[in-house]
Amino acid sequence: MAVSCGIVGLPNVGKSTIFSAFSAAQAEVGNFPFCTIEPNMAVVEVPDERLKVIHSHIETDRVLPAVVQVVDIAGLVKGASEGEGMGNQFLGNIKECSAIMHVVRCFEGDKVLREEPVDPVGDIEVIELELALADLATVRRACERCAKKARVDKDAAAELAVYQKAEAILEQGQQLRSAEWSKEERQTLKPLCPLTIKPVLYVANVADDDLDGESLHAQAVSEHASENGSEWIPICGDIEHELRRMDGEEKEMFMEELGVKELGLGRLSKAVYTLLGLQTYFTAGEIEIRAWTIHSGDTAPVAAGVIHTDFQQKFIRAQIYGVADLAEHGSEAAVKAAGKLRTEGKDYVMRDGDIAHFLI
């Protein structure tokens, strides 16, 4: 399944630096507003140590990790919902993303141009207000379009009720994700591609002496995320960008010197998967070992359908074992001999880390 994240934030908070740190693509990084105009896009491999474990026991031609598409969207400004700073174009780029990564400046200094004091929560509020205003304009148009038809059509009346609920929330300057929505209501809103219903991950771009995000600025982001039921992570964009340029041994030495146990991309991927309710299963054979992304709670036929839609329709059963089973017993044959290879049917709910063979 396709997973995409749009990086948003005010101009010059480090979005392009973080984008370049996470991907092989190198976005232009500049100390001036709107250094990025066209969105930069990259397909980023999701680090997963379990792939190495599987590969150490199963010979294969290639190893394919799961991927996330990351979109570096130009800086939004106050008035973006009304077209300020090319805002309409930038807001349109966010509509296609599964989730939003909201980058916030949490470091002092004059390295990056900024006239106002560093204010992470204030910056967040500027962006979220613009997203709410953009959604409000979209929802109001939907209400107007639906109003006449709703007088004589029950389905249209039900749609209008959902739009009006959304309108009331947005008029208060609130994000749509702050409200409870039924599955049916979400389906009604889906064609509108509302921005503020998307899950958000706050990324605190911290200084190189605050890697754990313990500063007042970073903790302000943490508190805001907690109050709004969202996730957050601290990342030093400059250090991550430098690490991206280094070779393996040099990188390991630098990470050890700084006390960095895991690169930001790994932490980011885990946070995004948690945010979107995703998990990973694997297929493994002589041709390839591959990680596949599914939703938590998906059944075996749905997981098979991620490989090919025909697999879901023609599913018969699945043979399942875990990465831990393979690590313990050393080979798939040994896993089977130990009675750890299970045959599961259409009702089986996949677990994170399952290795699966699907029979169709």
pLDDT given for residue 260 in this prediction: 82
Backbone dihedral region of 72: left (phi > 0), alpha (psi from -120 to 50 degrees) or beta? Answer: beta
Q: Reply yes or no on whether the pLDDT at 327 is more than 80.
A: yes
More confident residue, 257 or 28: 257
Average pLDDT over residues 298-321: 96
Q: How confident is the model at residue 275 (pLDDT cuts 50, 70, 90)?
A: confident
Pairwise CA distance, residues 358 & 312, whole Å? 10
| Distance from the Cα of residue 300 to its chain's centroid | 24
Average pLDDT over residues 27-38: 46
**CA–CA distance, 316 with 45 (Å, rounded to integer):** 31
Neighbours of 48 (CB within 10 A): 20
Q: How far apart are CA 125 and CA 224, in angstroms?
A: 10
How large a percentage of the chain has pLDDT more than 70? 89
- Per-residue burial over 299-322, b if 16 or more Cβ lie within 10 Å, else e, is bbbbbbbbeeeebbeebebbebbb
CA distance 101 to 264: 13
Sorted by sequence, the CB contacts under 8 Å of residue 167 that are 6+ apart come out as 136, 139, 140, 143
Q: Name which of 12, 215, 31 is nearest 105 in CA terms.
A: 12
In this prediction, residue 75 has a pLDDT band, given cuts at 50, 70 and 90, of low
Count CB neighbours of 232 within 10 A. Answer: 22
Q: What average pLDDT does range 332-349 have in this prediction?
A: 97
Would you state the pLDDT for residue 112?
54
Q: For the chain, which domains are there?
A: 4-274 (3.40.50.300), 297-359 (3.10.20.30)
Distance CA 359, CA 282 (A): 15
For the cut 80, the answer to whether the pLDDT of residue 109 exceeds it is: no
Q: How confident is the model at residue 31 (pLDDT cuts 50, 70, 90)?
A: very low
Across the chain, mean pLDDT equals 87
pLDDT tens for each residue of 110-166: 655 556 788 999 999 998 988 899 899 999 999 999 998 988 889 999 999 999 999
Would you place residue 241 in the very low, low, confident or very high pLDDT band (cuts 50, 70, 90)? confident
* Helices and strands per DSSP (H, E), number in the chain: 14, 12
Percent of the chain with pLDDT over 90: 57
Is residue 14's pLDDT more than 80?
Answer: yes
Predicted TM-score of the model (pTM): 0.83
| Residue 245 confidence (pLDDT) above 60 | yes
Q: What is the DSSP string of 78-113?
A: TTGGGTGGGHHHHHHHHTT-SEEEEEEEE--SSSS-
The string of pLDDT tens digits covering residues 176-230 is 999 999 999 999 999 999 999 999 999 999 998 999 999 999 999 999 999 988 9
pLDDT in tens, 77-99: 555 455 544 445 556 777 878 89
What pLDDT, on a 0 to 100 scale, did the predictor assign at position 274? 87
Residue 240 to residue 37: CA distance in whole angstroms = 23
- Residue 32 has a pLDDT of 38
Calculate the dihedral angle through the C-alpha atoms of 208, 209, 214, 220, rounding to the nearest 10 degrees. -50
Kind plus residue range of the DSSP H or E element containing 205: strand 200-206
pLDDT for res 38: 60
Contact predicate 44/70, CB 8 Å:
yes
